[in-house]
């Protein structure tokens, strides 16, 4: 690329169509914003600004990463979720916009001043649990993940949001928590989860997702239902009577087998995402 290239030249460059993305222009804007430490508005009000040699070298380096399919979130080391940028890195599941439905579903059911005890199963970057803490200032959170890298990232995000003193981190397999209930010493009001729910033989998953994101956060046995069944059972052990469990499922996923999974839990509701797909299921632990 020309050393004296401008912001506008880069955004309109035909060479950039090598990127493996359906939104090439947006990707270039994000890379330029990273290099110039600015927002999108700045780019379009400084269309003729020349990039110096150092900036061009940095852009080219990021551009090359994107060309081989590395997710933008890993390149920028951040992903926006529920109005806040969360730190992410390779080895940690990238937050998705559809998972915001999970947070919104929970927020519609509680007074924001309640002193809730929350558990985030498979917390990943911490985006779900920490987003809830932002809306429930008196709540406390237990973040659980088998992935040590994910827990470290979640700790960083908790620190960035000033929430470290409200979170306990457990490096545990969620499916084993029913055997380790002593770790959860307080009555649990709410459990949230985005479990692995993709069947191993599902060929609809994007190549870049399979290539770069942690498979343990994506795939589950029993045609994508193993973790959904297992984690629902664990929730039935840990929740107080009347407590709620909200979890995400895949688009069009057959969850009919959940009806006979756990007799202590009763399905309360299902929630649609912005595209009209059922994405979140709410269960309540029965009284008595």
200 is catalytic: no
pTM: 0.90
Q: Are 244 and 260 in contact (CB under 8 A)?
A: no
- The reported pLDDT for the residue numbered 281 is 97
- The reported pLDDT for the residue numbered 20 is 47
93 is catalytic: yes
| CATH class (in words) of the domain with range 7-69 | mainly alpha
Give the residue with greater pLDDT, 170 vs 205: 170
Q: Which fold has domain 79-285?
A: Rossmann fold (3.40.50)
- The reported pLDDT for the residue numbered 92 is 96
Query: With 0-12 CB in 10 A as exposed, 13-18 as middle and 19+ as buried, what is 5?
Result: middle
Identify the active-site residue in 63, 87, 93, 121.
93
Identify the active-site residue in 117, 147, 157, 194.
194
Q: What value does the mean pLDDT of the chain take?
A: 89
| pLDDT-based confidence at residue 202 (cuts at 50, 70, 90) | confident
- The reported pLDDT for the residue numbered 1 is 46
Q: pLDDT tens digits, residue range 244-279?
A: 999 999 998 988 888 766 778 999 999 999 999 999
Indicate where the chain has its CATH 3.40.50.150 domain(s): 79-285
Quick one: average pLDDT of 159-163?
A: 97
| 21 pLDDT higher than 60 | no
- The reported pLDDT for the residue numbered 251 is 92
Number of neighbours of residue 242 by Cβ within 10 angstroms: 11
| 15 pLDDT higher than 70 | no
Q: Are 243 and 234 in contact (CB under 8 A)?
A: no
Tell me, letter by letter, the H, E, C secondary structure of the chain: CCCCCEHHHHHHCHHHHHCCCCCHHHHHHHHHHHHHCCCHHHHHHCCCCECCHHHHHHHHHHHHHHHCCCCHHHHHCCEEECCEEECCCCCCCCCCHHHHHHHHHHHCCCCCCCCCEEEEECCCCCHHHHHHHHHCCCCEEEEECCCHHHHHHHHHHHHHCCCHHHEEEECCCHHHHHHCHHHCCCCEEEEEECCCCEECCCCCCCHHHHHHCCHHHCEEHHHHCHHHHHHHHHHHHHEEEEEEEEEECCCCCCCHHHHHCCCCEEEEEEEECCCCCEEEEEEEECCC
95 is catalytic: no
Indicate where the chain has its CATH 1.10.8 domain(s): 7-69
77-86, 105-114, 160-169: least confidently modelled range: 105-114
Give 89's strand partners: none
Q: Are 88 and 125 in contact (CB under 8 A)?
A: yes
Percent pLDDT > 70 in the chain is: 92
Quick one: average pLDDT of 16-44?
A: 80
| 17 pLDDT higher than 70 | no
| pLDDT-based confidence at residue 180 (cuts at 50, 70, 90) | low
Q: Are 174 and 144 in contact (CB under 8 A)?
A: yes
Quick one: average pLDDT of 96-109?
A: 95
| pLDDT-based confidence at residue 181 (cuts at 50, 70, 90) | low
- What phi and psi, each to the nearest 5 degrees, are found at residue 109? -115, -5
Q: pLDDT tens digits, residue range 41-70?
A: 999 999 999 999 999 999 999 999 988 889
> Token pair for residue 61?
């380096």
Give the residue carrying structure tokens 């009763």. Answer: 266
- The reported pLDDT for the residue numbered 98 is 94
- What phi and psi, each to the nearest 5 degrees, are found at residue 266? -125, 130
Identify the active-site residue in 195, 196, 246, 247.
195
CB contact set of 184 (below 8 Å; sequence gap of 6+): 119, 142, 177, 238
| 39 pLDDT higher than 50 | yes
């Amino acid at each position: 690329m020309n050393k004296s290239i401008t912001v506008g030249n880069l955004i309109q460059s035909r060479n950039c169509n090598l990127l493996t993305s359906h939104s090439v222009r947006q990707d270039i804007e994000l890379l330029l914003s990273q290099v110039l430490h600015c927002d999108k508005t700045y780019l379009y009000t400084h269309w003729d600004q020349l990039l110096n040699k150092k900036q061009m070298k940095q852009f080219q380096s990021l551009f090359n990463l994107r060309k081989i399919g590395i997710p933008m979130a890993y390149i920028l080391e951040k992903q926006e979720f529920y109005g806040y940028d969360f730190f992410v890195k390779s080895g940690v599941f990238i937050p998705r916009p559809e998972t915001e439905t999970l947070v919104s579903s929970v927020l519609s059911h509680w007074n924001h001043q309640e002193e809730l005890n929350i558990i985030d199963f498979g917390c990943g970057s911490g985006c779900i649990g920490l987003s809830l803490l932002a809306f429930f200032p008196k709540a406390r959170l237990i973040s659980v993940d088998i992935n040590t890298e994910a827990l470290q990232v979640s700790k960083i995000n908790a620190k960035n949001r000033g929430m470290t003193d409200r979170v306990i981190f457990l490096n545990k397999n969620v499916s084993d928590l029913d055997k380790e209930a002593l770790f959860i010493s307080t009555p649990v009001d709410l459990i949230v989860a985005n479990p692995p729910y993709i069947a191993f033989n599902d060929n609809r998953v994007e190549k870049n997702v399979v290539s770069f994101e942690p498979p343990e956060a994506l795939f589950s046995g029993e045609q994508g239902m193993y973790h959904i069944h297992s984690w629902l059972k664990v929730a039935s052990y840990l929740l107080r009577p009347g407590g709620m469990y909200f979890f995400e499922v895949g688009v069009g996923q057959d969850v009919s087998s959940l009806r006979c999974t756990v007799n202590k839990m009763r399905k309360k509701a299902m929630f649609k995402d912005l595209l009209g797909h059922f994405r979140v299921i709410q269960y309540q632990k029965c009284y008595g």
